[in-house]
Each structure stands twice: as structure tokens, then as C-alpha cells.
Chain A
């Protein structure tokens, strides 16, 4: 697992993407407010 970019204890890379309602979601916006469970999906199609 030494080649993985993201590790426990680190700050995750921030990102902004549009959700299914067209709203921009930025990961760091949840800091200080919520825990985040991030699921990287394999794809559903």
C-alpha cells in the first residue's frame, strides 16, 4: 500500500464538483461542521 497517495492522518486533497442538483460541492466546506464519508464508486452503468 506504499504507492497510495492518500493516507490516514493527512488532509485529503480538496475538490469541487457539481452534484446531481447542479450545486457545487467542495470537500473543505464541511470542515468544522460534519464528518464526511467519501465513496469512490466503480460506476453504475
Chain B
């Protein structure tokens, strides 16, 4: 998420809303969002309700959930879906920004 914060303005310029969903409860989320001054939308999903809908893998004995990233275009269609293979398997911002450029043509 720190990676996305760095380039947040570039997402905004591309007419894109950034939404992060995490497993913490709302209080923890709120505290973290304030501490880190996160500019985008943060949604607490402590019951894994949404993570379940999207089949995000939950590894209870490790470090929580395996990350996943998706891009939805303005017609409400998924244009990019990435389920990470490991905790550090996160797509580069450049890749996402390039895709958004294509969607905005």
C-alpha cells in the first residue's frame, strides 16, 4: 500500500479510485489510516466477507491473507486480476498505470 501511496496522484490523474480492503477491524483500520495519512479509501473487512467473494486466499497460520489486485473499468468490467503467489508478489504501479492509460483512451 505504501507503494501505491507514492503514486497516488498518478492514479487520480487517470480517473481512478483506489480502494484497499484489509482483514483488520474498523478501529484498527482507522488508526492506521490516520497514522499513515493514507489518501485513498480503506475498507475494513474483518469477517472476510468481501475477501471470500473474491476468493482471496486466507492463510490463517501465516501472515494473514495473500494479496490480490484488480482493476475495474468504468463499464464495471474487470480488466486486470492478479492473485499473488507470495506476500511480496505485487504488480508494479507502472503496469497498472499503463493499463489505466489504455482504458482511458
- Residues in A lying within 8 Å of B, measured CB to CB: 1, 3-13, 15, 17-20, 25, 27-28, 30-45
Where chain B touches its partner, the secondary structure class is mixed
> Measured between C-beta atoms, what is the minimum distance from A26 to chain B in Å?
11
Most buried by A among B32, B63, B77: B77
B84, closest chain A residue (CB): A42
> Measured between C-beta atoms, what is the minimum distance from A16 to chain B in Å?
9
Are A20 and B16 CB-contacts (below 8 A) given A31-B74, A40-B51, A44-B1? Answer: no
B53, closest chain A residue (CB): A13
| Contact between B15 and A35, CB atoms less than 8 A apart | yes
B83, closest chain A residue (CB): A4
- Residues in B lying within 8 Å of A, measured CB to CB: 1, 4, 11, 14-24, 26, 28-30, 32-34, 38, 41-45, 49-51, 53-56, 63-81, 83, 87, 96, 100, 103-104
> Measured between C-beta atoms, what is the minimum distance from A42 to chain B in Å?
5
Residues of B within 8 A of A25 (CB): 19, 41, 43
| Contact between A34 and B17, CB atoms less than 8 A apart | yes
A15, closest chain B residue (CB): B50
